[in-house]
Homo-oligomer: A and B are copies of this chain.
Amino acid sequence: MAANSLGTDVSGRMHIFKPLLIATSLLALHGRISAAEPASTFSKTDLRAAKTLHERASKDDTAYQLVQSLTTEVGARSAGSAGDKAAVAWGVREMQRLGFSNVRTMEVKVPNWVRGEASFKVLAPSPQSMPTLALGGSVGTPPEGIESDAVMVKDLAALSALPADAVRGRIVFFNNRMERTRDGSGYGAAVPVRTAGPALAGSLGAVGVVIRSVGTSTDRFPHTGTTRYTPDGPRIPAVAISNPDADALERQFASGKPVRLRITSSSRDLPQAQSANVIGEIPGTDRADEIVILGAHLDSWDPGVGAIDDGAGVAIIMGAVKLIRELPVKPRRTIRVVLFANEEFGTSGSQAYTAAAASESARHVLGFEADFGAGPVWRLSSRVNPAQQPIVDQVYRALAPLKLARGNNEARGGADLDGLAKLGMALLSPDLDGTNYFDVHHTANDTLAQVDPAALRQSVTAFAIGAWLGAQNPGDWQPVTTPKPPRR
């Protein structure tokens, strides 16, 4: 997953999203079927199929094989890279191999930022070199780097509270610690330093930024992720260092002596590139015009191989839908898998998909997104029209063997379905346990070793049963009319 601010047009050249048009279409569809019906119950056949899914999912390693294949044969696949293209080909090939129908790609324009090499040195008081990663989208430095005395602040508020000129000509060190949480709420609280810190520091005259990684590990992995400049503001280089190095740098500041830093980075933007969303389906039967969508993103950051972000998500939804396809019964609604392009660098894949949905009669009635690691699922949350709560309760009961917590009806969902959810699409959210997710997220350490096969199987089980019953809802998935809050 990427940062929590969505819809930002990073390159200024992306596909324009037309929410009003789509909203109109969605409401038109929903209007047709949302007449008050009594809540009804799943058929015995549907519940028996859910049990079959549970039995088969506990023995099926398709998802693990998928994430292994993606990370081994493709590896890193940041937007616009050669790996990105290879990942699209991989997605098409694997969907076809698994027997999905209507497998196709949807072309998407993506930014093409190239990391290059970066270095970070403390020159004084105690010389040290620290591993670093440029923030995604950051400009580079001159070849000789930038060198300056530094100012340490906690966060955006602390920077804003400094006297005028306190940071002019300086490098700003943002030293904010992220809190470890199961639901990822610590990320939302910590990430603004990364997304907006360089823009703010630049506007105050700073020449560079280094941040304590937005991550929870005490291992020496810096975490990357996008930063966003303002269209007219200065663009200054920005890098991240790991938590233990941030601790060490904090101690250098604590010495009371001036802290002098040097940053080098050869990051740069190349011309926009072409990528694609990859789409495949199990066609529905009597309600085939309605779509239950399962989304994950195919791109990854470049330092790792994208196993937990988001190879695992790709694997969970493909593995789940593979199991549904193998059931002896066919779903009523169409179940669609979308592997979104470029979630990490501005969600242009999601934006293109949502825009295109307008011309597809806006048939998306329910969504599932897997973009929070490799599981296990610990809770079932939702964002549905209150009239559909009884159906969510029945889905929850069908998931009883997984012993999930029961979340509320305020699921925020992920980045790629945010656009559709804002238009009223219902969400069912088998919540993945994020306690350790931000130890690895956006680091070089995002490898297959971080994926536990048992947790992945359990997650597939939850998504498979959820998606199957979502497609069999004996009533209607009515639009959600309350305003959607920003996602996690």
Query: Which residues of A come within 8 Å of B, CB atoms?
Result: 68, 71-76, 82-83, 125-129, 131, 218-221, 243-245, 247-248, 251-252, 304-305, 444-445, 447-450
Q: Given A243-B449, A449-B243, check contact A248 B72 (CB 8 Å).
A: yes
**CB atoms of B76 and A129 under 8 A apart:** yes
A282 and B386 CA atoms in complex are apart in Å by 78
**CB atoms of A244 and B447 under 8 A apart:** yes
**CB atoms of B305 and A128 under 8 A apart:** yes
Which residue of B82, B244, B447 is within 8 Å of A245 (Cβ)? B447
**CB atoms of B71 and A248 under 8 A apart:** yes
Query: What is the CB-to-nearest-CB distance from A484 to chain B, in angstroms, rounded to a whole number?
Result: 37
Residues of B within 8 A of A252 (CB): 72
3 tightest A-B CB contacts, nearest first: A218-B449, A244-B449, A244-B447
Residue of B nearest to A129 (CB): B76
**CB atoms of A220 and B444 under 8 A apart:** yes
Residues of B within 8 A of A76 (CB): 128-129
**CB atoms of B75 and A251 under 8 A apart:** no
**10 contacting pairs across A/B (C-beta < 8 A):** A72-B252, A73-B126, A74-B126, A75-B248, A76-B128, A131-B444, A220-B444, A220-B447, A244-B448, A247-B448
Query: What is the CB-to-nearest-CB distance from A71 to chain B, in angstroms, rounded to a whole number?
Result: 7
Residue of B nearest to A446 (CB): B220
10 new A-B contacts, CB < 8 A, other than A71-B248, A73-B125, are A73-B126, A82-B127, A219-B219, A219-B449, A220-B445, A220-B447, A243-B449, A244-B447, A244-B449, A248-B448
Query: What is the CB-to-nearest-CB distance from A246 to chain B, in angstroms, rounded to a whole number?
Result: 10
A82 and B126 CA atoms in complex are apart in Å by 11
A126, A131, A252, A450 pick with most chain B CB within 10 angstroms: A126
**CB atoms of B75 and A127 under 8 A apart:** yes
A252 and B449 CA atoms in complex are apart in Å by 16
Q: Given A219-B219, A220-B304, A304-B220, check contact A248 B127 (CB 8 Å).
A: no
**CB atoms of B447 and A248 under 8 A apart:** yes
Residues of B within 8 A of A72 (CB): 126, 248, 251-252
Residues of B within 8 A of A68 (CB): 251
A448 and B220 CA atoms in complex are apart in Å by 10
Residues of B within 8 A of A248 (CB): 71-72, 75, 305, 447-448
A74 and B304 CA atoms in complex are apart in Å by 30
Residues of B within 8 A of A75 (CB): 126-129, 248
Query: What is the CB-to-nearest-CB distance from A403 to chain B, in angstroms, rounded to a whole number?
Result: 28
Residues of B within 8 A of A449 (CB): 218-220, 243-244, 247
A68, A71, A83, A445 pick with most chain B CB within 10 angstroms: A445
A191 and B126 CA atoms in complex are apart in Å by 34
Residue of B nearest to A128 (CB): B75
